[in-house]
Structure 1
Amino acid sequence: MENLLLLHGALGAATMLQPLKQALQHTYRVHTLDFSGHGGKPLPREPFTMQLFVQDILDFLEQQQLESTHVFGYSMGGYAALSLALHHPQRIRSIYTLATKFAWSVEAAERETKLLNPERVEEKVPAFAAALAQRHAPQDWKQVMQQTAGMMRQLGQSPILTPDTLPQLQLPVQVAVGDRDNMVTVEETLWAYRLLPNARLQVLPNTRHPLETLPLQDLSQHIGQFISQVDR
């Protein structure tokens, strides 16, 4: 069986990918991980950075003795997978990204981080705050959110995936985005697709950003179809 690593998004955790893991585990050896500071893992002494999350993946591959693996990366997880592939292409067989934000700039980071105000979230969306508290316990979800905002600002100033670096990624990539995603545009996904030398583009109809809103059976089939094409 092929290895398949599932990577969660910003403010997420491996537990969010458990239903997808269960749907795929009869076909693949499915692995999940929590990025540093997520899902109850200790908050690192250093700030959140994409480089830190890339190292998390490398460390996990070493711990699990995985020479190479296919990767599904949701949102930030897709960005981390592609960033890893830039420097360690031999460790990744293919990448399927879903709802990954590719177009980072200072202005884009400012728009995104306006939504990451813990006090405002607690006041305006208490149910979401409670979910984050449970997801990241015993760590402080407010620190996770603030650290995430800092990482986004750094990406805005120094994006890793650029018109210079994306063409270097020779491995098979499928970039998928929902047509109703209010965080990631079809246009920026198309931009990345055109720069990637060995890519497929998928626009999912009537689909928003949150992973839990996607039909699980459809998503697992999309991932399986992509990997089967890669393995031919």
Structure 2
Amino acid sequence: MKPTILLLHGAMGSPATLEPLAELLAADFDVKTFAFAGHGGRGVSLATFTLPHFAEEVLSFLKAHETAPAHVFGYSMGGYAALLAAHQEPARFASITTLGTKLDWSPESATAETRFLDPEKMQAKVPAFVEQLRQRHAPADWAAVVRATASMMVVAGAAPPLAAADFATLQVPVQVLMGDGDLTAERGDASRILAEQLPQGHYTVLPNTPHPIERVDITDLASRIRAFALHHA
């Protein structure tokens, strides 16, 4: 029987954005995924569009579908949700790999992250991306998803769900991957410093890698996820 790996998408994403990765991992893992609240056509509500709620959804999914500890890959926001869930119930996790996950949240970092999350400006400056969001989240309103994402980041900046001290107590093998061109998740060394506090953490910088997962070397990413997870099987 193949081990399970749960793939978690990022903010304003959906399981469809992880399909190329899922295909590469399917030979070695029983690949599973789901859409977070407010994503992929699910209803948008500020009450459920929060990092703590997303972590609850991860735990609920694992409780409903898995009896043994599962491997998890989380892209961007999905990685944070996985870490927060593992902090609450570490026994549910065999390993976690994150990519492009912002670990250091503060009011300043939230302001930097949300300055481009304005539906009207996005419509004018990146209409092709807006059309992707429209199709990805239909029948929900893509603009509501964008506004809820901004709200989530402001809340996380004001009160980070994971305090700095929490990283030092997270007893799960964690592989933290960060692109050398990722200006979204890593500004300075704050995320690296937090990642290095993880008791079983491994921090790796990926060369020639920006933040959008569509521009990541998926074959290399799948290889890194596979090696780390199978080492901790």
**TM-score when scaled to structure 2?**
0.95
The equivalent of 1:136 in structure 2 is 137
Structure 1 residue 171, shift from structure 2 partner? 0.9
CA RMSD across the alignment? 1.3
Do 1:175 and 1:189's aligned partners in 2 also have CA atoms closer than 8 Å? Answer: no
In structure 2, C-alpha distance between the alignment counterparts of 1:90 and 1:44, rounded to whole Å? 30
Q: 1:189 aligns with which of 188, 191, 197?
A: 191
Quote the residue 2:159 is aligned against. 158
Secondary structure in 2 aligned to 1:85? helix
Counterparts of 1:203 and 1:65, CA distance in 2 = 31
Match of 2:200 among 178, 198, 204: 198
Shift of 1:46: 1.9
User: Contact (CA 8 Å) 1:4, 1:72: kept in 2 or not?
Assistant: yes
- Cα deviation, 1:105-153, whole Å, max 9, x if unaligned, reads 0011011111110111011110011000000000001101111111101
CA change 1:62–1:228 in 2 (3 A) is: closer
Partner SS, residue 83 of structure 1: helix
Q: For the Cα contact (< 8 Å) 2:46–2:148, is it kept in 1?
A: no
In the alignment, the residues of structure 1 paired with residue 44 and residue 63 of structure 2 have an alpha-carbon distance, to the nearest angstrom, of 21
- In structure 2, distance between residues paired with 1:36 and 1:8: 11
Counterpart CA distance in 2 for 1:179 and 1:81 is: 22
Question: Any gaps of 5 or more consecutive residues in structure 2?
Answer: none
Match of 1:11 in 2: 12
Relative to structure 1, the CA distance from residue 16 to residue 66 in structure 2 (aligned partners, 3 Å threshold; closer, same or farther) is farther
Residues 75-120 of structure 1 deviation map (CA, whole Å, 9 limit, x = unaligned): 0001000000111111111110100001110011011111110111
How far apart are residue 45 of structure 1 and its match? 6.5
Counterpart amino acid of residue 143 in structure 1: A
Runs of 4+ in 1 over 3 A off after TM superposition: none
From the superposition, tell whether residues 24 and 182 of structure 1 become closer, same or farther in structure 2 (CA, over 3 Å). same
Equivalent residues in 2 for 1:46-85, closer than 5 Å: 46-85=47-86
What percentage of aligned pairs have identical amino acids?
43
